[in-house]
Amino acid sequence: MKKALATILALVMALGLTTAAWAEGEGAAKVAKIGNAEYATLQEAVNAAAEGQTIVLLKDVDASSVVTVGKKAVLDMNGKKLYNTTDIWNEGTGAWSLISVREHGDLTITGNGTFAAKENDCYAVDVQDGGKVTIQNGTFIGNIHAVYVLTGTAIINGGTYTVQQKFSEAKPYDFVLNCYDANHTNGTATITVNGGEFPQIDPSNCKAEGEGTNFVASDVAVAIVGSEGYAVGSAVIAAAANSGKSVTVTKAGPITGVDAGKSILVARGVTGVTVNGNTVTAGTSYTVPQSSGYYYYHPTTDTKATDTKGSPKTADPGAALYGALALLSLTGMVALNGKKDKERRKGSTPQGCSLFVSRKPLAGRVVQKRLLPMRKNKTPSVVVEMRSGNCKLQNKGRPFKNEVAETV
């Protein structure tokens, strides 16, 4: 009985381990997906994708051969890595890179992933047969070239580009970005840089297609960032400045989004640079001014037909005068009413002062009440209506300023 029970338990454990291993193996086999469909290899996913579909990388991929794309698609790297530990390079077959856009394919790379070619082997990305690649972001590490265009177009909007294997000791990094010379000359191979980070080269002044080759778009700024290399585009340059790094602009263009207190230097001879909309002279440094933190209200000079004004938006002299006059008016009214009450209790009325008769009239006798005339006292920002209630109010023996004597 014990032996039978032990055998059953052993079988159950073996079955459980086998199932777990099978499940793990199935999960590990899926490296990419399109919608809910998952694929064992990235090339399988590319082949299965319909025009314009997005392929999402699910895990890091160790490529044993070049991944080719010959259709319109989006590759979302999803923060993952495409790399190779075995050689891919085969010049005769055109296997030059980790990923190759061919046959008029149109690939957009996004998702902040990493393309890391094995050292001394292949490039990161290439374009052949009139294809097009648009790189939004990511890290691209190649050998001699990070991005190479035989025929077609590469548009670089962001990302970081470096090489491990140098072209030569004399020109180690001149070809991080490169086109086939003859095709670049006749316009069938192009690279356009709108943004990105280039630690090893200045893409606006490299030697890939001859001295002074410029791959950067005409209205895009370029700057040296400390000892870290070159930054291309407003967003990258502003981020470097905002992080406290030294920034020197070497190619003109608009730069926006620079924080207050941060500085940008414009190299000599570079004109047409603007920082947050302000033109910066060549050879000078510009520091974005700190905000004062105050809001100044400019009162309007227009006067409405009612001769009244709205509430001021900030503290200003008109508001202060308004408050002072209101306080004086209330104080005078309180003082006058107090004096009236005192005189009334004594059975007399203050000389020269007008008041309303509020006692009950005698039978058959009509008591007429006459209001004092209204007087308007204008100030720069407010109209105060005052009813004279005192003609001889004294302040330490002297009449108040603007005192008005009126009697009933």
Are residues 400 and 311 part of one domain? yes
Bridge partner residues of 266 (DSSP): 249
| 10-residue stretch averages of pLDDT, the chain, 408 residues long | 54 48 55 98 98 98 98 98 97 95 97 98 98 98 98 98 94 95 96 98 92 94 97 98 98 98 97 97 96 50 42 46 48 49 49 44 42 42 42 40 38
Q: Is residue 223 in a domain?
A: no
Number of domains in the chain: 2
Say what the pLDDT of residue 315 is.
46
For residue 281, tell me if it sits in a domain: no
My answer on whether 50 and 171 are in the same domain is yes
At position 374, the amino acid (one-letter code) is: M
Q: Can you give the pLDDT at residue 372?
A: 40
Q: Are residues 202 and 309 in the same domain?
A: no
Residue 192, in any domain of the structure:
yes
The answer as to whether 277 is a domain residue is: no
Which residues neighbour 74 within 8 Å (Cβ) at sequence distance 6 or greater?
52, 53, 54, 55, 107, 108, 110
Contacts 24+ apart (CB under 8 A), 301-309: 307/383, 308/383, 309/381, 309/382
Boundary (domain end) residue, out of 160, 183, 217: 217
Q: Is residue 331 part of a domain?
A: yes
Q: Which of 217, 237, 254 is the last residue of a domain?
A: 217
What's the pLDDT at 293? 55
What is the model's pTM? 0.67
Contact 319, 325 (CB under 8 A): no
Residues 184, 40, single domain; the answer is yes
**What pLDDT is attached to residue 201?**
96
58: in domain:
yes
């004279």: which residue's tokens?
388
pLDDT for position 212 = 87
Contacts made by residues 336-341, CB under 8 angstroms, sequence distance 24+: 336/389, 336/390, 336/393, 339/390
Residues 88, 95 contacting (CB under 8 angstroms): yes
Domain contains 262 = no
Would 81 be classed as within a structural domain? yes
Which of 161, 185, 217 is the last residue before a domain boundary? 217
Residues 205 and 347 in one domain: no
Residues 57, 31: contact at Cβ < 8 Å?
yes
**Judgement on whether residues 184 and 331 belong to the same structural domain of the protein:** no
Range of the domain at 89: 31-217
CA dist 307 → 297, 303, 304, 324, 379 (Å): 20, 6, 5, 20, 11
Asked if 157 and 63 sit in the same domain, the reply is: yes
pLDDT at 77: 98
